Amino acid sequence: MSDDPLMEVVDNNDNIIGTYPRSQIRRDKMSYRLIAIFVFNNKGELFVQKRSPELKRYPDCYDSSVGGHVELGEDYETAAKREMAEELGITEDLEFVGKEKLVYEDAVRFVALFKCTTNKQIKIDKSEIRTGRFMGISQINKMLVEKEKFTPVFSMLFKKFFGGNK
C-alpha cells in the first residue's frame, strides 16, 4: 500500500463524491469512511486492542477490536473483513450493528460498526497493535470513566452501543 493511498470522499449522506489522497483528505477535513468491529468471546467479553506506540495517530491508545479505513473501491463489509484478517489474523461472519456519523477533529467520519463472536486464536499484527485482550464491558466502562486513553471512534461507538459513561 502507498504511503498516501487514495480514498473515497463522501458527502453528508455518505454518498461517494470523489477520490483524493489520504493526506489531502485529512488536511482539508473531508468526510470519509471507516469501519470498526467489536469482537467478543463466548463469555461476552470484548477484545480491546492497544495501538502501537509507533503509530502516528492515537499511539498507545486503546481501540476497537478492529478498525480501519474503507479503501478505494471497497464497501464497508469488505473493508471490515480485510481489516480483521490483517489485524487479528481471523475470519468470522460479521453482523452489521449500525452506521454512525461521527464528528471529531473538525471532520466527519461515517463509521460502520460490525460485531462477531469467536473462539479462534487471535494473532495480532504487531506493526499496528501493541497488545490486546478480552475484557468485560463493565471493566471497559470503568476505564473510560477513569479517563484511560481510548481513540475517539472507540469511545463514541462504545458509549452509543453499550450506554457507557460519558
Strand-strand pairing, 46-51 and 62-63:
antiparallel
pLDDT attached to residue 105:
80
Residue type, 128: E
- Is the pTM of the predicted complex or chain greater than 0.85? yes
Q: Distance between CA atoms of 65 and 107, rounded to whole angstroms?
A: 23
Q: Which residue has the cell 500500500?
A: 1
Q: What is the pLDDT averaged over residues 129-150?
A: 92
Q: Is 87 helix (H, G, I), strand (E, B) or coil?
A: helix
pLDDT attached to residue 52:
87
pLDDT attached to residue 162:
80
Domain positions in the chain? 6-161
Taking phi over 0 as left and psi of -120 to 50 as alpha, with beta for the rest, 48 belongs to beta
The tens digit of pLDDT for each residue in 31-90 reads 999 999 999 999 999 999 999 888 888 899 999 999 999 999 999 999 999 999 999 999
The tens digit of pLDDT for each residue in 88-134 reads 999 999 999 999 999 888 889 999 999 999 999 999 988 888 999 99
CATH architecture of 6-161: Alpha-Beta Complex (3.90)
pLDDT attached to residue 140:
93
Which residues, 6+ apart, have CB-to-CB distance to 124 below 8 Å? 49, 87, 88, 89, 131, 132
